[in-house]
Amino acid sequence: MSPVLAGVLQLLALMVALALAYRPLGDYMARVYSSPRHLRAEKWIYRVIGADPAIEMRWPAYLRGVLAFSVIGVLFLYLLQRVQGGLPGSLGFASIDPDQAFNTAASFVSNTNWQSYYGEQAMGHVVQTGGLAVQNFLSAAVGMAVAVALVRGFARSRTGELGNFWSDLVRGTVRILLPISVIGALVLVACGAIQNFAGIHEVGQFTGGSQQWNGGAVASQEVIKELGTNGGGYFNANAAHPFENPNGISNLFEIFLILLIPFAMTRTFGRMVGSLRQGYAILVAMLTIWLGFTALMMWTEFHHGGPAFEIAGGALEGKETRFGIGGSSIFAVATTLTSTGAVNSFLSSYTGFGGGIALLGMQLGEIAPGGVGSGLYGMLIMAVIAVFIAGLMVGRTPEYLGKKIGGRQIKFAACYILITPALVLCFTAVAMALPTPGHSMTNSGPHGFSEILYAYTSGANNNGSAFAGLNADTQWFNTTIGLAMLLGRFVPMVFVLALAGSLAEQRPVPETAGTLRTEKPLFSGVLVGTIVIVAGLTYFPALALGPLAEGLAS
C-alpha cells in the first residue's frame, strides 16, 4: 500500500471514530450542562468552594468568576515554579526564573501551553503533575464553561442569566474531562506511554554504559493534553517523543482525542438551542475547513518541495518513522486548527507551504473545530458576523437563532475578531523592528520572519505550537508572548460573555419568510467564506513575507 493511500485511510478511520462518538458525547455534554442534579462529590466540592451552584449569574458575575479563578491559577502556578527548588518530589530541580515562570503560568492557564522550557530538565513531578497537568484540565473546563454560557445566551430569552460558573467548571471537569482521561490514559499506557514515579534513573545501553531516563506521570498528562486541546508536552519533543506517543495506533488515538470534544460540542449546541440542524450547519463548516486543510497539508508534505528535502528524497526531517508523512500531516492540521499546539513532528522543518498551512490554521481563529469550548464560541462569533454580512446583502435586520443581531451585538463580535490579529501583528512588528529579538532566530530570510510571526500567532491564539528554531527563552519573548497569551485568551472571553448576556435579555423574534435559514448548507458555505475572507484580509501581507515567499522559492 502506498503511503498516500495509507494516510487517506487513516483519515477515514479517524472520521468514522469521530462520527461514532459524536451523538452520544454531544448529547451527554448537553445533559451535563442542563441537568438540575448534582453528584454527591460535586456537592462536597461546592461546599469547599463556598459557592451555591443554584445561583444564576448574569454576564458580569459569570465573567468575574472566570477571571478570579484564572488569576488565582496564574498566581499559584507561578509560585509553584518559583519555589520548586525547595519542594520535595521535584527531583532536586532548581526553581524557575521569574520571566519563564510567568510565561509558563500564563501559558497553561490560558490553554496555550507554549513552552520556553525543556520539560525533561526543568520541571519535576510536583510542577508537572500537580501544576501543569491540573491546568490542562481546568483551562479546558473554563473554555467549555464560557462556550456553554454563550449557547445559553442564544437559548434563553427575557433573562440575563447565563448559568453558574462554578457549577459549569466543576461539571466539565468531573463529568466530562476526568472520566475520558482515565480511560484514555490507560489506552496510551497499553500502547507504551510511561506512567510511573521512578524519577531520573540509569538504564543500560546496547553498546555498554548507561543513560539517564526521566520517569513520570506521562500518560495521565498526555491524555488531557490532547483531550483538553492544551498541547504542553511532558518532554521537549512533545508527542514526537516515543514515551508520549509510542506507535501508529497511539498517534491516531491522540488525534482523535484532540478533535473529540470540539466537534461534539456542535451537537451539544444544537441540543441546547433546540435545533440539532443548527449544530450540523456549524459542524459542516468546521469539517469543510478541516478536511481542506488536511488534504492540502498531505499534498505539500508528500510533494516535499525545498532544497534539503529534494536531496533527501522526502520531507522526513523532524518526522518520526512510525508516523510517516501521512500520520504527521493529519496531526499537524488537527493541532493547529484546534488550540492544541501539541506536535508529533516539527513544523519548522515542514515544507514552506506546510508551515504556512499550520500558521493559517491558527490565524483562522482556531475554529475548525477549534479548542474545547473556544472553538465553538469562536465559530458562533463568526456565524454572527456571517449573518450580519448576509443581512447587509439582502437589506434586512440580521437574526440568528431567533435573536436580533443589532449594533450592540455586532460591536461585541467585531471586537472579538479584532483583538487577536491586533496582538499578533503589533507584537510581530515591534519584535522585527527592535534589534535584539531577531537574534533568537535559527533560520534566516523568510523562514526567520515566520519563526517570529508564528510565535505571536501561536501565543495570541492560545495554540502553543512553535517554529521551534526560535530561542524563546529570553526576557523579551517570555514577557511579550506571556502577555499575548493572557490578552488573547481573556479579552475575547469578555466580549463572548457580554454578547451572551445581551442575547439572553432579548425577546425571540418570530421566524418569517425573510429569515436567513442558518440550518441550511448554504449558510455553512457563507460561514466558511466569511472565515476565509476575514482571516485572509487580515493576515495575507504577513503570510506573503514569510511562508508564501519560502514556498514559492522552492
Partner 1 sequence: MNGMTSMNSSARNTARLLGAGARALLVLTVLCGVLYPLAVTGVAQGLFPHQANGSEVKEAGKVVGSSLIGQRYDLPLKKGQETPAPDLKWFQPRPSNGLGSNTVNTQYKLILSGATNRAGDNEELIQWVKDAKAAVVKDNSTPGYRVPASAVPPDAVTSSGSGLDPDISPAYARLQVHRVAERNHLPVQRVEKLVEDHTQQRVLGFVGEPRVNVLALNVALRELVG
Q: With contacts defined by CB under 8 A, name the span among 134-142, 281-289, 484-492, 513-521 that binds partner 1.
A: 134-142
Residue with cell string 445581551? 502
Give me the phi and psi of 404, to 5 degrees please: -75, 130
| By the rule CB under 8 A, 178 interacts with partner 1 | yes
Which is closer to partner 1, CB of 119 or CB of 378?
Answer: 119
As given in the structure block, the three cell numbers for residue 85 are 527548588
**Residue 508 makes contact with partner 1 by CB under 8 A:** no
Residues 464-493 binding partner 1 (CB under 8 A) are 467-469
Least Cβ distance, residue 543 to partner 1 (angstroms): 16
DSSP 392-452: HHHTS--EETTEE--HHHHHHHHHHHHHHHHHHHHHHHHHHHSSSGGGG-SS-HHHHHHHH
Q: Which helix (H) or strand (E) holds 537?
A: helix 521-543
Q: DSSP class of residue 230?
A: -
Please, what is the minimum distance in Å from the beta carbon of residue 315 to partner 1? 7
213, containing H or E segment? strand 210-214
Among 145, 150, 193, 497, binds partner 1 (CB under 8 A): 193
Grid coordinates representing 192 are 507504551
If the CB atoms of residues 323 and 477 are measured against partner 1, the closer one turns out to be 323
Q: Which one of 28-36, 46-54, 279-287, 423-431 is the stretch in contact with partner 1 (CB under 8 A)?
A: 46-54
Task: Compute CA distances 223 → 90, 218, 227, 418, whole Å.
Answer: 22, 9, 6, 33
**Site residue total, partner 1 (CB under 8 A):** 124
Which cell numbers hold the place of 513? 419568510
Identify which of 142, 144, 135, 129 has the alpha carbon closest to the alpha carbon of residue 76. Answer: 135
Helices and strands in the chain, H and E counts: 21, 4
* Residue among 447 and 489 whose Cβ is closer to partner 1: 447
- Residue 200 found at the interface with partner 1 (CB under 8 A): yes
Q: Is 247 in the site for partner 1 (CB under 8 A)?
A: yes
C-alpha span between 512 and 10 (Å, rounded): 45
In the list 24, 60, 89, 92, the residue contacting partner 1 (rule: CB under 8 A) is 92
Smallest gap, in angstroms, from Cβ of residue 86 to partner 1?
Answer: 14
Q: Which of residues 307-326 bind partner 1 (CB under 8 A)?
A: 307-309, 311-324, 326
Selected range binding partner 1 among 45-53, 454-462, 478-486, 490-498, rule: CB under 8 A? 45-53
The amino acid at 453: L
Q: Is 50 in the site for partner 1 (CB under 8 A)?
A: yes
- Closest listed residue to residue 332, CA positions, set 318, 320, 346: 346
Single out the residue of 68, 69, 96 nearest to residue 80, CA to CA: 96
Among 26, 73, 365, 464, binds partner 1 (CB under 8 A): 73
- Up-side HSE of residue 370: CA atoms within 13 Å toward CB? 28
Among 15, 32, 83, 191, binds partner 1 (CB under 8 A): 191
Q: CB-hemisphere CA count at 13 Å for 477?
A: 27
Q: Which of 283, 412, 420 is nearest to 365 (CA)?
A: 420
Count of C-beta atoms within a 10 Å radius of residue 176: 24
Under rule CB under 8 A, which residues in 9-28 are in contact with partner 1? Answer: 9-10, 13
Question: Does 1 contact partner 1 by CB under 8 A?
Answer: yes
Q: By CB under 8 A, name the one of 62, 166, 302, 412 that touches partner 1.
A: 166
- Indicate which single residue of 98, 215, 406, 438 sits in contact with partner 1 (rule: CB under 8 A): 215
CA atoms within 13 A on the CB side of 157: 9
- Candidates 16, 19, 94, 537: give the one binding partner 1 (CB under 8 A): 94
**Residue (503 or 543) nearer to partner 1, CB:** 543
User: What track of x and - describes contact with partner 1 for positions 329 through 348 (by CB under 8 A)?
Assistant: --------------xxxx-x
| Contact call for residue 88 and partner 1 (CB under 8 A) | no
Q: Which of residues 430-459 bind partner 1 (CB under 8 A)?
A: 442-443, 445, 447
Which residues make Cβ contacts (< 8 Å) with residue 326, sequence separation at least 6?
A: 3, 4, 6, 7, 8, 10, 11, 298
Q: Kindly state whether residue 231 participates in binding partner 1, applying the rule CB under 8 A.
A: no
Q: Could you tell me which residues are beta bridge partners of residue 211?
A: 203
Site for partner 1 contains 358 (CB under 8 A): no
Per CB under 8 A, the list member of 26, 53, 131, 421 interacting with partner 1 is 131
Toward partner 1, which CB reaches closer, 35 or 442?
442
Shortest spacing between CB 20 and partner 1, in angstroms: 17
171: helix, strand or coil:
helix
Task: Give the footprint of partner 1 on residues 396-435 (CB under 8 A).
Answer: none
Extended strands (E) in 441-523: none
Give the chain's length.
Answer: 554
| Nearest-angstrom CA–CA distance, 105 and 102 | 5
DSSP 84: G
Site for partner 1 in 260-299 (CB under 8 A): none
Could you tell me which stretch among 147-155, 200-208, 255-263, 477-485 binds partner 1 (CB under 8 A)?
200-208
**Given 34, 236, 288, 479, the residue binding partner 1 (CB under 8 A):** 236
By beta-carbon proximity to partner 1, the closer residue of 10 and 111 is 10
